[in-house]
Structure 1
Amino acid sequence: MLTTLSALVPVILVIASGYLIARTGLITGEQWRGVERLAYYALFPAVLFRTISQADFNSFPTLNMGGSLLASIFTMALVLLLARTAIERIWGIGPDRFTSIFQGTLRWNAMIALAIADNVAGDLGLAMLAVAMVFMIPVLNVASILVLSRYASGTSPSGAKIARDLYTNPFILSIGAGVLMNVSGLAMPSLIDDTLGIFARAALPIGIICVGAGLDLGSLRRPGPALTMGTFLRPVFMPLLAFVFASLFGVTGPALAVVVIASAVPCASNSYLLARQMGGDAKLMAEIITLQTLAATVTIPLALLLFT
């Protein structure tokens, strides 16, 4: 427990630092958008490419990890979709608010996950987390768009746009390039490796500072059924499902810890942008992101303690 906390506390403190930096006005408005774009399009892709290109895929159960995560995602998605009518009838949660609950339960913040995996398991943790992203990112993006298309009131993107968003996603592109480099057997020139290493050292702190800056405590209202469900379904049930399926697939050790981390971290901050674009309840989505991130200071250590 103490080892887990010692790995998580620095991440939590850097998130808090991001919140304080944003509230003191040291970085403001569009400046934050520039920092976020830098992390998203340059720094994190450098981490992923470098990590995957040098990873020994035979050292961890790649397919079993992917199967565990996908089984967890599909199970929870099915449960939510089957329960949607009952949720509306019992708690009065309309379709647009349901989409925020759906995103809040299934989507994950890869920046926080990468930082925690690095602290918990080092380079091996980063490599395994990057592999988890290969399985999760396309599925979760498509599932979220389809649910918003069906239940929200905004404009649904075309199939071509969905495909374009996936094959231009910088995380997917950098992971794909890293896999190609890895299987080619080519050695990365030390000059390139050292340069990417500098990028990589900058990525994790800048990424989680941006997470803290995006928290909006002033937007929180009195919790109701929708906010409660959207906040706690993910940290309570997703790690449990992941643990069950990981056990069935024979995933143990550091690989199990990475599966639990990927299932326990808060939902992705870009869930808000998608909700706003497609007519979901963007305010509820922002509240879910904020409360999940705050709750993660307790729920992630508990998940790792209970399931690893």
Structure 2
Amino acid sequence: MLTTLAALTPVILVIASGYLIARAGLITGEQWHGVERLAFFVLFPAVLFRTIYQADFESFPTFDMGAALLLTIFVTAGLLLAGRTTIKRIWGIPAVRFTSIFQGTLRWNAMIALAIADNVAGDTGLAMLAVAMVFMIPVLNVMSILVLSRYASGTAPSGSRILKDLVTNPFILSIVFGVVLNLSGLDLPFVIEDTVEIFARAALPIGIICVGAGLDLSSLRRPGPALTMGTFLRPVFMPLIAFGIATLFGLEGPAMAVIIIACAVPCASNSYLFARQMGGDAKLMAEIITLQTLAATVTIPLALLLFT
């Protein structure tokens, strides 16, 4: 427990620092959007490319991890969709608010996950987390769009637009390029490799500062059933489901830790943009993101303690 807390505390402190920096006005308005774009399009792709390029895929169970994560996603999504009518009948939660519960339960903040995986399991953890992203990001994006299209009032993008968004996602592209170079056996010129490493070193602190800056404590209201459900289904039940499925695949050690991290971190901050653009309950989504991030200081250490 103490070891896990020691690994997570720096991440938590940097998130808090991002919140304080934003409230102090050192970086404001559109400046934050620029920093976020830098992290999303340059810095995090650099760390993913470098990690995958240098990874020894034969040293960890790549496909078993991917299968366990996908099965966890499908089981969790199936339970949520099967229970939607019951949720509406008992708690009076309409379909449009259900979409925020769905995103809050299934989607994950890869920036926080990368930082925690780096602190908990080092380069091996980063490589495994990058593999998890390959399997999870496309499936979760498509699922979220389909659920919002079905239950919210917005207009869903076309199939070609969804495909374009996936194949131009900088995280996906950097991973694909890293895999290709890894399998080719070619080495990057040392000047290029050192340049990518410098970018990669900047990715995690800047990305986590942006997470903290995006927290909006003023958005919180008195918790109701939808906010409570959207906040705690993910950190409480998804790691439990993931642990059961990963155990069936015989996964343990760093592989199990990375799976639990991927399923326990708060939901993705861009879930708010999905909700806003596709007619979901954007206010509820913002509240879920904020509360999950605050709760993560307790729920992630507990999940790692119980399941790894």
Q: TM-score, normalised by structure 1?
A: 1.00
Question: Superposition pairs for residues 139-218 of structure 1, below 5 Å?
Answer: 139-218=139-218
Q: Give the Cα separation in 2 of the matches to 1:255 and 1:82.
A: 30
| Cα separation, 1, equivalents of 2:177 and 2:250 | 29
Q: State how many pairs are aligned.
A: 308
Residue 277 of structure 2 aligns with an amino acid whose one-letter code is Q
**Alignment partner, residue 116 of structure 2:** 116
For structure 2, the 5+ residue unaligned runs are none
One-letter amino acid matched to 1:164: K
Q: What does 1:46-65 align with in structure 2 at a 5 Å threshold? A: 46-65=46-65
Q: Secondary structure at the match of 2:83?
A: helix
In the alignment, the residues of structure 1 paired with residue 22 and residue 161 of structure 2 have an alpha-carbon distance, to the nearest angstrom, of 33
Cα distance in 1 for residues equivalent to 2:155 and 2:18: 33
**Once the 2 structures are TM-superposed, how far is the Cα of residue 187 of structure 1 from its aligned partner?**
1.0
| One-letter identity of the residue aligned with 2:31 | Q
- In the aligned structure 2, how far is the partner of 1:272 from the partner of 1:161? 19
Q: Please identify runs of 4+ aligned residues in structure 1 that moved more than 6 A.
A: none
Matches for 1:241-252 after TM superposition, within 5 Å: 241-252=241-252
| 1:261 positional shift | 0.3
Note the C-alpha offset of 1:2.
1.0
Is 1:270 equivalent to 2:287 in the alignment? no
What is aligned with 2:106? 106
Local SS of the residue matching 1:223: coil
Please state how far the C-alpha of 1:155 moved relative to its aligned partner. 1.1
Percent identity over paired residues: 81
Which position in structure 2 is the counterpart of 1:280?
A: 280
Distance 1:181 1:25 in 2: 42
Q: Distance in 2 between matches of 1:222 and 1:160?
A: 41
Alpha-carbon offset, residue 70 of structure 1: 0.7
C-alpha separation between the residues in 1 aligned to 2:306 and 2:188? 40
Which secondary structure does the structure 1 equivalent of 2:3 belong to? Answer: helix
Shift of residue 166, structure 1, vs aligned partner: 0.3
Letter in 2 for 1:161: R
**CA deviation profile, 1:85-122 (whole Å, cap 9, x unmatched):** 11111111011100000000000000000000000011
CA distance in 2, matches of 1:61, 1:82: 31
Which runs of structure 2 are paired with 1:16-27 in the superposition (5 Å)?
16-27=16-27
1:1-48, CA deviations, whole angstroms, 9 ceiling, x for partnerless residues? 111110000000000000000001000000000000000000000000
Q: In angstroms, what is the RMSD of aligned CA positions?
A: 0.4
